[in-house]
Copies of this chain bind each other. A is one copy, B any other.
Amino acid sequence: MSLTNPVRRRSGRPRSERARQAVMLAASELLPELGLRAMTTDRISERSGVSKATIYKWWPSKYAVAVDAFLAGMFAASREPDPDTGSAREDFRQALRGIMRFYSSASGRIFAQLVAEAQFDPEVFAELRDRLVASRRELVRAIWDRGVARGELLAEVDPDVGLDMMFGPAMYRLVAGHGPLTDEAADAVVDAAMCGLSR
């Protein structure tokens, strides 16, 4: 016997899934082609065949569209699995290599532009922090916790500090551009972080 559909369908024409996907697709294509700034709402509308009014109905700004498209599309593709090699150092090495590769890819430039836009728009900032940065940090946090459990890492170090020491340099180089984002750089950072700088 039916329980009368506890999730009551709201009346009226339902939101068009086709329109949502068309917007996501158009934004995913336009972001690498034009960059975040030159990707205008009008162009998303034109490319997707979804009217501007509809876009503004569901997203507060083109940046919200970009964040959604980035998360749904490009970012998902480049998502790294937890390496879990049995060695924290090796896990970190692989995780940081993945991040370095991501940052130095086309998606990395878009990511940098999203982070940049977040500096001007609190909503984008919150969205990015909650949906992107947090999920990344969860992954590496798992590596950290395993390392502590195995006795490889110093339990008395604040994990936030330890993780920032390893992944901060990557972000630093992404936005300031003063150093390379390579596998070698990843390895050097992990090694130095593990052993320390002092004699």
Which residues of A pack against B, CB within 8 Å? Answer: 35-37, 88-89, 109, 112-113, 115-120, 125, 128-129, 133-134, 137, 151-154, 157-158, 160-162, 164-173, 175-179, 185, 188-189, 192-199
Contact = CB atoms under 8 A, between A and B. Distances in A.
Nearest to A187: B161
B173 A164 contact: yes
Contacts of A128: 176
Contact of A176 (B89, B115, B117): B115
A153 to B, nearest CB: 5
Nearest to A175: B115
29 contacts: A36-B120, A113-B119, A115-B175, A118-B175, A133-B178, A152-B199, A153-B197, A153-B198, A153-B199, A154-B195, A154-B196, A158-B188, A158-B192, A160-B178, A160-B179, A162-B192, A164-B179, A164-B189, A165-B168, A165-B193, A168-B170, A168-B171, A168-B172, A171-B171, A171-B176, A192-B196, A193-B196, A194-B197, A195-B198
Contacts of A167: 172
Contact of A115 (B116, B137, B154): B116
B161 A171 contact: no
Contact of A37 (B120, B158, B169): B120
A137 B179 CA distance: 12
A128 B179 CA distance: 15
